[in-house]
């Protein structure tokens, strides 16, 4: 039993990098449930055997001394009195040995219960370690999932904002001939070439002195082309959003602009 306890305690105290919580709990459970009921055998107790040897030896010495003293009283000859007195003295020592048994029994029982308590403490600590590790892993997974959801939501919001910026800037250029700054183009996902094309179209349609049927035809055709370009650009963004594009936090507006410029 002591070997089982020592092996379990050693397994509990080891600092193995490949820590297996379930295995440790299983081993400790087996050690706890597999313990035998307490029993005490004096002959198997080294401490009792040591006491017994001392009491027997001292009893024999006391018996010889008593017999010697009794013989001296009878002129140096042995007698039944001397033998009886010596045996009585020897028996007194053996009775004293018997009085030690309850103390030795109590010590053995305390050792048994202490070992059981140590195993239970080891089990409780192993269980707590497993629960802590599980909670830590659960929190890590939850944090990663939350971060991914936040990133996806931010990317969705960014695309929607870019779509709005694109539509607004196309409308502004097409109706006023506005020349946007690089920052505005980047926010709208519009290339400089696309913006210049829209602006030139506006300037062509609103050229001073342009009038008449021919001019009206060109103007109508130009407006149709401008609207077609705006709708096509907005449609491309809408398809990208609908397709569930993820990981947009690393996508720069410039790369989006380049992609649209290539398709345009």
Tell me the mean pLDDT in the region 21-27. Answer: 90
pLDDT score at 92? 74
Q: Is the pLDDT of residue 260 over 90?
A: no
pLDDT score at 112? 92
pLDDT band at 211 (very low <50, low <70, confident <90, very high): low
pLDDT score at 42? 85
pLDDT score at 241? 37
Tell me the mean pLDDT in the region 43-70. Answer: 75
pLDDT band at 51 (very low <50, low <70, confident <90, very high): confident
Q: Is the pLDDT of residue 203 over 90?
A: yes
Q: SS in 3 state form for the chain?
A: CHHHHHHHHHHHHCCCCCCCHHHHHHHHHHHHHCCCCCCCCHHHCHHHHHHHHHHHHHHHHHHHHHHHHHHHHCCCCCCHHHHHHHHHHHHHHHHHHHHHHHHHHHHHHHHHHHHHHHHHHHHHHHHHHHHHHHHHHHHHHHHHHHHHHHHHHHHHHHHHHHHHHHHHHHHHHHHHCCCCCHHHHHHHCCCHHHHHHHHHHHHHHCCCCCCHHHHHHHHHHHHHHHHHHHHHHHHHHHHHHHCCCCCHHHCCHHHHHHHHHHHC
Q: Is the pLDDT of residue 5 over 60?
A: no
pLDDT tens per residue across span 118-177: 999 999 999 999 999 899 999 999 999 999 999 999 999 999 999 999 999 999 999 999
Q: Is the pLDDT of residue 57 over 80?
A: no
pLDDT tens per residue across span 213-253: 444 444 444 544 544 454 455 444 444 433 433 333 333 34
Q: Is the pLDDT of residue 206 over 60?
A: yes
Q: Is the pLDDT of residue 186 over 50?
A: yes
């Amino acid at each position: 039993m002591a070997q089982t306890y020592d092996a379990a305690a050693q397994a509990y105290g080891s600092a193995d990098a490949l820590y297996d919580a379930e295995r440790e709990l299983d081993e400790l459970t087996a050690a706890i449930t597999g313990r035998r009921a307490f029993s005490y055998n004096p002959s198997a107790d080294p401490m009792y055997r040591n006491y017994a040897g001392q009491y027997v030896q001292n009893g024999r010495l006391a018996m010889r001394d008593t017999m010697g003293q009794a013989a001296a009283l009878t002129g140096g000859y042995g007698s039944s009195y001397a033998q009886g007195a010596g045996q009585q003295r020897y028996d007194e020592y053996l009775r004293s040995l018997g009085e030690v048994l309850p103390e030795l029994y109590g010590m053995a029982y305390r050792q048994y219960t202490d070992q059981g308590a140590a195993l239970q403490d080891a089990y409780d600590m192993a269980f707590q370690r497993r629960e802590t590790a599980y909670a830590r892993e659960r929190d890590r997974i939850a944090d990663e999932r939350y971060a991914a959801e936040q990133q996806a939501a931010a990317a969705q919001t960014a695309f929607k904002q870019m779509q709005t910026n694109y539509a607004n800037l196309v409308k502004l250029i097409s109706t006023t001939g506005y020349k946007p700054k690089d920052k505005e183009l980047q926010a709208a996902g519009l290339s400089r070439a696309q913006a210049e094309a829209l602006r030139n179209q506006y300037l062509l349609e609103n050229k001073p002195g342009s009038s008449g049927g021919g001019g009206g035809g060109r103007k109508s055709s130009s407006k149709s082309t401008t609207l077609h370009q705006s709708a096509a650009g907005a449609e491309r963004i809408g398809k990208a959003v609908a397709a569930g594009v993820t990981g947009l936090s690393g996508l720069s507006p410039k790369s989006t602009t380049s992609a649209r410029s290539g398709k345009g």
